[in-house]
Amino acid sequence: MIKFRLEKHSSPYWVRIIIPFAAILVTFLITSIILMVSHVNPIEAFYYFLVEPLSAKASLIEVLVKSTPLFLTGVAVSLAFASGYWNIGAEGQLIAGATAGAGIGMIVQGVSQWVGIPIMIIGGFLAGALWALLPAILKVKLSVDEIVTTLLMNYVILYLVSFLLNGPWKTTTNPGWPQSPEISLSTTFVKLIPKTRLHIGFVIALVIILVVWFLLTKTKLGYQMRASGIGRQAAYFTGINVNRTILISALLSGGIAGIAGAAEVGGIHYHLIEALSGGLGYTGIIIATLSALNPLAVIPSALFFGLIETGARSVSRALGTPIHLGGIVEGMLLLIILGAFLFQEYRIRRVKK
């Protein structure tokens, strides 16, 4: 009989690179089973899922549009996780940023977009950071588990948005689907390609990713964040102010997620709605994990997720599968990648009998 055994073994570097790709492959194999159960030809489905969106200019641009907020939530979560702060609240921080964006869009008027857009970004950042502040302070001062508090804050902001949309910011445009007043032209994000939804937020997101990468790898603060993240006790022992470092990281993470929200309002929706995010922050957690918390790897990961989200619609249109196929793939990918990371520390060995 052939027997196998799992033994602890630190993998060579190439295994670490292969893991995400292998996880994606396994995810699609399992998804195939689900597709076959629903009487859909998996190969055809994957064509519409992964290839078709890239074949036309319009859907290709749509992939980039979908990726824009994911760049930001992905890198926001990566930054926090790398510092050992388990920020599950990017979703809420994004909505806080979107709320600020909608508010700023109502107030700031009659100025150039080159003034209005930076105000939107700063406002989104501050709102996201503000929404991250309470859990971060509780963590640093009282060691309250941030996984719980950041998650709970996501629900608080949803009710706050609901209050605003049904109260002070109520409009009559679309009864049953409450939305805030349209933002001013000054605060509308510039289009990168006219007549598409691709806006300047895409470039801003890429710049922010580069900034975070630079922060984590080249600066003292980033070095201290990484040390606090993977060796908190040793970091404290060697004189790093761990609490301060984690606080900064948590606020930066919240702020970046907030920018994603402001950009969605300024570049896509032009007003605030309750369903503005629909899980962009949670997807950021999957992207950060897929990227192994490496900010630069967030770029391909987020593009891939942009493709999945676009592709899910295209499969749905062509083959009549539910649009939730995208969600199934995303969720499955997270589980499989978490499992696959086991191979960084272990290997399977055949036991000779």
Residues in contact with another protein by CB under 8 A are 3, 5, 10, 218-221, 223-224, 226-227, 230-231, 233-241, 351-353
Q: Which is nearer to another protein, 6 or 275 (CB)?
A: 6
- Please classify residue 332 by burial: count the beta carbons closer than 10 Å to its beta carbon, then call 0-12 exposed, 13-18 middle and 19+ buried: middle
Are 229 and 66 in contact by the 8 Å Cβ rule? The answer is no
Q: Which is nearer to another protein, 21 or 237 (CB)?
A: 237
Q: Which is nearer to another protein, 43 or 351 (CB)?
A: 351
| Min separation Cβ 341 and another protein, Å | 14
| Min separation Cβ 307 and another protein, Å | 32
| Min separation Cβ 88 and another protein, Å | 23
| Min separation Cβ 313 and another protein, Å | 40
323 in helix, strand or coil? coil
DSSP letter for each residue of 221-252: HHHHHHHHHH-HHHHHHTT--HHHHHHHHHHH
| Min separation Cβ 224 and another protein, Å | 7
Q: Tell me how many degrees the CA angle 335-274-72 measures, rounded to the nearest 5.
A: 50
- Please classify residue 249 by burial: count the beta carbons closer than 10 Å to its beta carbon, then call 0-12 exposed, 13-18 middle and 19+ buried: buried
Q: Which is nearer to another protein, 113 or 243 (CB)?
A: 243
Tokens 């907020």, residue located: 69
Q: Which is nearer to another protein, 55 or 219 (CB)?
A: 219
- Name the phi and psi angles at 273, rounded to 5: -130, 160
Alpha-carbon separation of residue 328 from 44, 91, 184, 253, 309 (angstroms): 18, 19, 38, 27, 11
Q: Which is nearer to another protein, 3 or 195 (CB)?
A: 3
| Min separation Cβ 2 and another protein, Å | 12
